[in-house]
Structure 1
Amino acid sequence: MAPPPPRRPAPTPSAVDAMRGMLLQAAFDGDLVIFKKLAGFLDKGRGRVRETVEAVTVDSDNEEMKGLGVLHLAAGNGKLEMCRHLVEDLLMDVDILDSAGCCEIVELLLAKGAYTDSVTCCGTPLHIAATEGQDGTMKILLNHNADYNKMVNGMTPLYFAVNAASVKCVRLLVQAGAVANGDYFLTALINAPKNVSAECLNCVLGVGVGSSWNATDNKEPLDKMKMAELKSQGNKAAGRKKFLSAAEFYSMALDLDPEDATLFSNRSLCWLHMGKPLLSLLDAIECRKKRSDWPKACYRQGIALMSLKDYKGACESLLDALKLDPGSSELKDVLRKAMESLKVTRSVKAR
């Protein structure tokens, strides 16, 4: 009778930790050969490779990395073949939470029954796609009935899409039925107006959601209308106090000449009259970018900031306007009002 083969010595704890680290690295690199060898060695012939692999996670002081497993790392680095092995061969849990991935991997995980609305500290997969501006991933998630109005920490995917200035993601969410969650939505955006875009907010507010703008008073195709005519029509509509129609004409004109500062100035005024000061501010900021030496651009920004009750910012913008046009009595009057409002606000806060 042949003697039994010699048993391999059990690896030391430090060696096991090293192999776990190598397993995570192999998953991240998509190295299937090394991964399978390490997984088999760690399993020690028990036939529980899936459980063994799922138990290996990142141990790090970095909160964003801590707790991530092999599926997270493979998906996050776009290693589709590794993901296929983990999901199809090892039958790993596809609902293990993650914050990244590519479209093919998302399709694979959803096809295997992944839950579309699982929640991490970063939100649901839809929140994460919105934050990263991943419109392709978002489209897949929406096609699998992801909850486009799900709130995590008081905010929906739409907020993150607008804050990321991803017009494509905003359009997808709005077309799916997403809505801004009340005053909190716009109030939060007011705190960081430079991070958003007028196009995104136009979509949220139901203006220009389609592929092109449609003027309410004139249905003639855009390519047959000259920019000057569109601007003229906008001015006429504004004169009749039809500010939404005027804003649409100015927007069509901007499609033809996006560098025209006067169009941004005019549309900024329209938004202000329509009670949309944030949109007014965004257009005023664009106007100043186009013509930094134009007093009216500074004036538009100051007026919009006053409507948002940012009196300190309003004073700064109006002072810039007055430096460019020191003889303007209108600017002096508006600046005086802004300074008075700032004093009142500071006085109330001091109490």
Structure 2
Amino acid sequence: MSSSTDAMASPCSHDQFDEPDRGTVLNYIFQAASDDELSIFKELVTIILDNGRGRPKEAIEELRVEDVGQLEGFSALHIAASKGSLEVCRYLVEELLVDVDLVDKEGRTPLLFATYHNGGTAEYLLDHGANQDKADHDGSTLLHYAAELGNCEMVELLLAKGAYVEPVSACGTPLHVAAGKGHYGAMKILLDHNADYNKMVNGVTPLIVATDAKSMKCIKLLVKAGANLKEAAAYTTLHAEKVVSDYFLNCIMEDVDANRDVPFDQGPMLKREIVTSGLISRGSNSLKNKDYVVAAKLYSKAMVLDPDDAVLFSDRSLCWLQLGDGKKALLDANRCRKMRPHWPKACHRQGEALMLLKDYEGASERFWDGLKLDPVDTDIEDALREAMKSLKTSRSRSMRAN
């Protein structure tokens, strides 16, 4: 750098930086790393940053982004890797022998940020010892991030380099993450590498996550792979706010009929269980929202598919009670009691229906039956007390009338 033109062009000119400010040097170094300007980067590190002490490795490793934010703790290698600056990466890793797995404040390595691109930096870092399974402080690995982005090329690269297909973070496995984002391609690659499509993390499977995301393609892919349909249906039944939509049910039925290796005698049964669970889920949601007419209709449809479910008759009886139809409520309560004679709730439903029909003596008997089955049920005890009070009042009126 002998000419004045060179001196003006280079940030390493001693005329320009007699006493370089650390913040200015940091900005220039990171800018050079970002632009893959290797010659400028070298001069900045060896002449300005290290100041001729012969310890450029330690100097560059100690240099980190200090601003509070997402980049806090970034090293030059993080910057170079994230921007695809392959020449700067080579210099840092091969000449300065910088730790390839340096972590920032969040525990993220340069390789993680290289996964955001399809350039050669990720493959280079992997070939030079980067840990493909290293997780950040939240437990997310590089495969989680690649799956979240739907970066199929990076998912394939990480798996080809030996990345574990089933790491678990707070978000689940990479398959959970891809399913939640609706990334069909990334999911297919993970499944082709034997990702567990029934892996339960925080109470949910990839199929449940795909259902919540309303990704029909991902749902079909998981069903075809062999995902547990009954488990997903049970989840939606227990979580009434997560109602199974019609298109989801239709999607599942199509796959059971056409694309799934289900034994002939089990296919119709499986389809019936899924549809029934969906109807029950939607009925429960309607009941919760006090939409008793809709809830009764949904329970009625579910009864066609499963006529031996006593709970369905109990719940529909409750709908009729809320709608003021004592006769229908009693019919359903009687059928419920016949199916489960030792279930206190069945007795309770009978008593409630008889109360609505002003048969206080019959109501008292049914409540008493329920209390004998469950002596600590305070709801039945209170109902019995009210029925006996109403019976006494009714008899007193009858006697006065005579």
Range into which the TM-score falls when normalised by the shorter chain: 0.5 to 0.7
Report deviation, 1:94.
1.5
1:71 equivalent to 2:71? Answer no
Report deviation, 1:124.
0.9
Query: Paired residues, what number?
Result: 252
Q: Does structure 1 conserve the Cα–Cα contact (< 8 Å) formed by 2:220 and 2:255?
A: no
Larger radius of gyration, structure 1 or 2? 2
Between stretches 156-165 and 73-82, larger displacement belongs to 73-82
Q: Does structure 2 conserve the Cα–Cα contact (< 8 Å) formed by 1:159 and 1:185?
A: no
Residue 199 of structure 1 corresponds to: 217
Residue 56 of structure 1 corresponds to: 63
1:312 and 1:28 mapped to 2: Cα distance? 56
Counterpart among 50, 54, 57 of residue 47 in structure 1: 54
Between stretches 135-144 and 145-154, larger displacement belongs to 145-154
Counterpart among 109, 114, 126 of residue 110 in structure 1: 126
Q: Does structure 2 conserve the Cα–Cα contact (< 8 Å) formed by 1:30 and 1:74?
A: yes
1:145 aligned partner, one-letter code: G
Q: Does structure 1 conserve the Cα–Cα contact (< 8 Å) formed by 2:64 and 2:75?
A: yes
Q: Does structure 2 conserve the Cα–Cα contact (< 8 Å) formed by 1:246 and 1:270?
A: no
Q: Does structure 2 conserve the Cα–Cα contact (< 8 Å) formed by 1:165 and 1:195?
A: yes
Report deviation, 1:72.
1.2
Counterpart among 173, 187, 192 of residue 175 in structure 1: 192
Give the 3 Å change call, closer, same or farther, for CA 191–27 of structure 1 in structure 2: same
Q: Does structure 1 conserve the Cα–Cα contact (< 8 Å) formed by 2:279 and 2:299?
A: no
Gaps of 5+ in 2: 1-13, 103-108, 228-249, 261-267, 302-314, 323-402
Residue 298 of structure 1 corresponds to: none
1:227-246 equivalent positions in 2, closer than 5 A? 244-246=255-257
Residue 138 of structure 1 corresponds to: 155
TM-score by length of 2: 0.51
Residue 275 of structure 1 corresponds to: 274
Report deviation, 1:112.
0.5
Residue 186 of structure 1 corresponds to: 204
Gaps of 5+ in 1: 1-6, 210-234, 250-268, 278-302, 323-328, 344-351
1:34 equivalent to 2:52? Answer no
Q: Does structure 1 conserve the Cα–Cα contact (< 8 Å) formed by 2:180 and 2:209?
A: no
Residue 113 of structure 2 corresponds to: 100
Report deviation, 1:121.
3.5
Give the 3 Å change call, closer, same or farther, for CA 317–135 of structure 1 in structure 2: farther
1:11 and 1:276 mapped to 2: Cα distance? 75
Residue 95 of structure 2 corresponds to: 89
Report deviation, 1:23.
1.3
Give the 3 Å change call, closer, same or farther, for CA 312–28 of structure 1 in structure 2: farther
Report deviation, 1:126.
0.8
Report deviation, 1:86.
2.1
1:114 aligned partner, one-letter code: A
TM-score by length of 1: 0.58
1:155 equivalent to 2:172? Answer yes
Report 1 or 2 for greater relative contact order, CA contacts < 8 Å, sequence distance ≥ 6.
Answer: 1
Between stretches 118-127 and 25-34, larger displacement belongs to 25-34
Q: Deviations over 1:143-198 (max 9, x none)?
A: 11111111123621111111121111111111111114226463687578453523
Q: CA RMSD in A?
A: 4.4
| Identity rate, percent | 28
1:120-139 equivalent positions in 2, closer than 5 A? 120-121=136-137, 123-139=140-156
Report deviation, 1:128.
1.0
Q: Deviations over 1:197-221 (max 9, x none)?
A: 2322333344389xxxxxxxxxxxx
1:175-324 equivalent positions in 2, closer than 5 A? 175-179=192-196, 180-182=198-200, 184=202, 186=204, 190=208, 193=211, 195=213, 197-207=215-225, 244-248=255-259, 273=272, 275=274, 304=278, 306-307=280-281, 311=285
Q: Deviations over 1:259-293 (max 9, x none)?
A: xxxxxxxxxx998635389xxxxxxxxxxxxxxxx
